[in-house]
Amino acid sequence: MESKPIVSIENLTKVIKGRTIIDDLSFDVYRGEVFGFLGPNGAGKTTTIRMIVGLMSITSGDIKIDGFSIQKNFEKAVQSVGAIVENPEMYKFLSGYQNLQQYARMVGGVSKAKIDEIVDLVGLSERIDDKVKTYSLGMRQRLGLAQCLLHDPAVLILDEPTNGLDPAGIREIRDYLRFLAKEKNMAVIVSSHILSEMEMMCDRIGIIQNGKLVDVQQVKEFVQGAAETIVEFEVTPLPQAISVLGERYPNLSIQKGERTITLTIAKELIPDIIKAFVHTDLKVYGVRELTKTLEDRFLEITKGDGGKIL
């Protein structure tokens, strides 16, 4: 990851009819990463993205893309951006290739070789001469993706790109986006209200709730960063194990399974607990740290007020 951000959101605020829709949002996105913008429906994802691509005016604050302000230097700023915000406009009775040619003429300076390269990149080579009306939703998505990659943007922005796709389509999109970030060194910004998808797709995630940024974290840290961890001990006999724990750690809440006990504890406590078991002649067959999912962490951060996030 480079040290200079390619996208800088600076105290971005949007007020519509006296209502603050986006409230003092600040974050940076870098080349080489997939940044996830996660939040329940109505949180303000689309509004933020519309401001980033210049489809909506900014009430206060600024957005800089490659150092250019979207407000003061719009042309230069959007030059670096490819985006699918609303459904991309496609001519259904033209072939995929003709659609791309059409678009290439509009933006200018796109060679035929470039079109072929992008078609290949999004894996549409075999069907590119078929009419768009024969395409699946996933293929249309890929054609849309091809369209916004034609002018070689440094930043790719997709608003809820997996909406309506089947699992195979979702996986495909995910693989392309990761490829574009890692191999083409692009900055990819995706929004979603689906935690599990973001967990698999993104390097970092910014959580937005009621127009406010609640948290930005690396996905890895996000999942592992909790102060406490969940640990499962397989130990016999269980009743003795529980009484040993009860004596030493009276405040611990113990979840008893059939052959295991599960504790939510600070990691440092694990060796002490093992020692206590061994010293009292209990048999420890296994100790397993259960990783928290993004969802667990999300609920922690938002204190269970996750809204409609799946």
Ligand X SMILES: Nc1ncnc2c1ncn2[C@@H]1O[C@H](COP(=O)(O)OP(=O)(O)O)[C@@H](O)[C@H]1O
Which residues make up the interface to ligand X (CB under 6 A)? 16, 21, 39, 41-47
Distance of CA 218 to the CA centre of its chain: 10
162 contributes a contact to Mg ion by CB under 5 A: no
The minimum distance between CB 207 and ligand X, in angstroms, equals 11
The CA distance from 273 to 233, in Å, is 9
Among residues 46 and 99, whose Cβ is nearest to ligand X?
Answer: 46
Question: What would the DSSP string read from start to end of 26-66?
Answer: EEEE-TT-EEEEE--TTSSHHHHHHHHTTSS--SEEEEEET
Q: Which residue is nearest to Mg ion (CB)?
A: 46
Among residues 102 and 163, whose Cβ is nearest to Mg ion?
Answer: 163
Please identify, among the stretches 46-54, 125-133, 148-156, 290-298, the one whose residues bind Mg ion according to the rule CB under 5 A.
Answer: 46-54
**What does 80 interact with, of ligand X, Mg ion, none (CB < 5 to 8 A by kind)?**
none
**What does 137 interact with, of Mg ion, ligand X, none (CB < 5 to 8 A by kind)?**
none
The minimum distance between CB 262 and Mg ion, in angstroms, equals 38
Of 8, 46, 141, 147, the residue at the interface with Mg ion (CB under 5 A) is 46
Among residues 8 and 209, whose Cβ is nearest to ligand X?
Answer: 209
The minimum distance between CB 242 and ligand X, in angstroms, equals 46
Q: How many residues bind Mg ion (CB under 5 A)?
A: 2
Instruction: Please enumerate in sequence order all residues whose Cβ is within 8 A of that of 211, keeping only pairs 6 or more positions apart, or say none.
Output: 14, 20, 21, 22, 23, 25, 43, 44, 47
Among residues 41 and 125, whose Cβ is nearest to Mg ion?
Answer: 41
Among residues 209 and 260, whose Cβ is nearest to ligand X?
Answer: 209
The minimum distance between CB 46 and ligand X, in angstroms, equals 3
The CA distance from 303 to 93, in Å, is 50
209 contributes a contact to Mg ion by CB under 5 A: no
The minimum distance between CB 101 and ligand X, in angstroms, equals 32
Among residues 110 and 188, whose Cβ is nearest to ligand X?
Answer: 188
The minimum distance between CB 51 and ligand X, in angstroms, equals 10
**What does 141 interact with, of Mg ion, ligand X, none (CB < 5 to 8 A by kind)?**
none
Among residues 183 and 305, whose Cβ is nearest to ligand X?
Answer: 305
The minimum distance between CB 36 and ligand X, in angstroms, equals 13
**What does 43 interact with, of ligand X, Mg ion, none (CB < 5 to 8 A by kind)?**
ligand X
The minimum distance between CB 193 and Mg ion, in angstroms, equals 8
Among residues 160 and 203, whose Cβ is nearest to ligand X?
Answer: 160
Provide the binding-site residues for Mg ion, judged by CB under 5 A. 45-46
